[in-house]
């Protein structure tokens, strides 16, 4: 049984992808779903949210075995064989991470070169291109995970193309601004192109022995966050951008020009409209735990308590919506 893979991706940076993956990984795992958080962003910010600097130094500097996503692809990069098995790092009983690595950027050239070689049916090219998919599923198998959440960097390069080929579903985080909308206009056509190009390459696969991903990359919705609010409504500075999101998402990402754009409140493609948690986010980073798990000992006192409770409700609802759309049993959220 393969694990369900969901990527959180927008080629516009600063939209909160990493924080979303971090909090949802905890929410899913605390709800009883065995989950892997995979850091495929070369900036490795997700890994630094889970692990302290001492552990990071062990992984990146002193660990010769390189138990990171980059360590797994070194044999492929150096033409020494297939990917190396890595052990997901245990955070809790139901939560593991695949550690990111700043050196992962050096794998980009290899992925670019092998993309065209797949059309020639070269087995080595398919091994490289499908590496992330096979690494993720191998990690899920050894940790009994049924869900993998991927954090990606904000670009449309070969690294992210290979990562997205490994995914079943894509969630698009947004902020209400012009740059996010332009990101949607770039993202949608690119996903369709990559999906079609991968199908052409699959037709040239040299054998059925290699376990290749289907490259579904199915968009299941967007999340708008980090907006300012007043009386539970976005302030006017962002209102005009929020109003445009449903139509742009439907047209650019879903390639649907027939449906009438709805308001964001009624848009079925909107998974959540998350508030800005302000000081609670900094407190969560300092305590190395999600906002909804903050306690008085972490500094969550007075007015912060209501914010912690609201964060729990918000992420509970969001995780349930995502579970419904990817066919994960939602009864665990009751």
Q: Is residue 278 part of a domain?
A: no
Q: Is residue 227 part of a domain?
A: yes
The whole-angstrom distance between residue 261's C-alpha and the CA centroid of its chain comes to 26
Q: How many domains does the chain have?
A: 1
234, pLDDT greater than 60: no
The whole-angstrom distance between residue 271's C-alpha and the CA centroid of its chain comes to 15
φ, ψ of residue 256 in degrees (nearest 5): -110, 105
pLDDT tier at 331 (50, 70, 90 boundaries)? confident
pLDDT tier at 257 (50, 70, 90 boundaries)? confident
Q: Is residue 117 part of a domain?
A: yes
Share the mean pLDDT of the chain. 90
Run of H or E including 108: helix 108-117
334, pLDDT greater than 60: no
pLDDT tier at 302 (50, 70, 90 boundaries)? confident
Q: What span, in angstroms and rounded, lies between the C-alpha atoms of 159 and 165?
A: 10
Cα 35 to Cα 74, 91, 107, 161, distances in angstroms: 25, 10, 26, 23
220, pLDDT greater than 60: yes
Q: Report the CATH number at residue 218.
A: 3.40.50.300
pLDDT at site 329: 81
pLDDT at site 75: 94
Average pLDDT over residues 80-98: 94
Domain that holds residue 57: 4-239
pLDDT at site 284: 87
pLDDT at site 32: 93
321, pLDDT greater than 90: yes
Average pLDDT over residues 208-237: 77
Q: What span, in angstroms and rounded, lies between the C-alpha atoms of 167 and 18?
A: 17
pLDDT at site 231: 42
Q: Which residue has the higher pLDDT, 288 or 229?
A: 288
15, pLDDT greater than 80: no
Q: Which residue has the higher pLDDT, 286 or 95?
A: 95
188, pLDDT greater than 80: yes
Q: Is residue 258 part of a domain?
A: no
Q: Is residue 198 part of a domain?
A: yes
Run of H or E including 272: strand 270-275
DSSP state of 291: G
Q: Which residue has the higher pLDDT, 26 or 227?
A: 26
Instruction: Tally the residues of the chain.
Output: 334
Q: Is residue 279 part of a domain?
A: no
Average pLDDT over residues 7-18: 86
Surface-to-core class of residue 105, CB atoms within 10 Å of its CB (0-12 exposed, 13-18 middle, 19+ buried): middle
pLDDT at site 171: 97
pLDDT at site 299: 85
Cα 193 to Cα 133, 173, 199, 253, distances in angstroms: 19, 21, 10, 12
pLDDT at site 228: 53
pLDDT tier at 260 (50, 70, 90 boundaries)? confident
Max avg pLDDT among 5-14, 28-37, 299-308? 28-37
Q: Is residue 209 part of a domain?
A: yes
pLDDT at site 232: 54
Tokens of 25: 């990984």
pLDDT tier at 229 (50, 70, 90 boundaries)? low
- Asked whether 94 and 24 are in contact (CB, 8 A), the reply is no
Q: What span, in angstroms and rounded, lies between the C-alpha atoms of 32 and 330?
A: 11
Which residues, in sequence order, are bridge partners of residue 64? none
Range in 65-69, 151-155, 163-167, 268-272 the model is least confident about: 65-69
Beta carbons within 10 angstroms of residue 208's beta carbon = 7
- Asked whether 280 and 300 are in contact (CB, 8 A), the reply is yes
pLDDT at site 263: 84
Q: Is residue 263 part of a domain?
A: no
Q: Which residue has the higher pLDDT, 180 or 260?
A: 180
């Amino acid at each position: 049984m393969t694990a369900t893979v969901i990527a959180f991706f927008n080629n516009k940076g600063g939209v909160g992808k990493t924080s979303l993956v971090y909090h949802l990984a905890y929410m899913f795992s605390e709800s009883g779903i065995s989950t892997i958080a995979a850091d495929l962003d070369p900036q490795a910010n997700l890994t630094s949210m889970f692990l302290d600097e001492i552990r990071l130094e062990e992984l990146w500097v002193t660990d010769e075995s390189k138990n990171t996503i980059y360590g797994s692809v070194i044999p492929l990069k150096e033409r020494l064989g297939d990917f190396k098995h890595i052990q997901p790092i245990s955070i809790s009983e139901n939560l593991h991470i695949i550690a990111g690595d700043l050196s992962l950027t050096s794998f980009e050239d290899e992925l670019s070169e092998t993309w065209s070689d797949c059309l020639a049916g070269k087995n080595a090219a398919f091994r490289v291109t499908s590496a992330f998919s096979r690494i993720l599923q191998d990690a899920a198998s050894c940790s009994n995970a049924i869900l993998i959440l991927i954090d990606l960097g904000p670009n449309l390069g070969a690294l992210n193309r290979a990562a997205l080929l490994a995914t079943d579903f894509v969630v698009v985080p947004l902020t209400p601004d012009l740059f996010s909308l332009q990101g949607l206009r770039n993202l949608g056509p690119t996903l369709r192109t990559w999906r079609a190009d991968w199908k052409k390459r699959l037709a040239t696969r040299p054998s059925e022995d290699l376990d290749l991903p289907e490259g579904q990359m199915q968009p299941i919705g967007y999340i708008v966050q980090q907006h300012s609010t007043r009386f539970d409504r976005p302030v006017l500075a962002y209102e005009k951008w929020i109003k445009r999101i449903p139509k742009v998402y439907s047209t650019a990402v879903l390639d649907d020009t027939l449906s009438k754009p709805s308001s964001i409140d009624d848009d079925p493609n909107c998974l959540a409209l998350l508030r800005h948690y302000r000081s609670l986010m900094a407190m969560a980073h300092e305590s190395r735990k999600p906002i909804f798990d903050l306690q008085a000992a972490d500094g969550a006192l007075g007015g912060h308590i209501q914010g912690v409770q609201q964060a729990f409700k918000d992420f509970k609802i969001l995780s349930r919506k995502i579970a419904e759309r990817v066919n994960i049993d939602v009864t665990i959220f009751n």
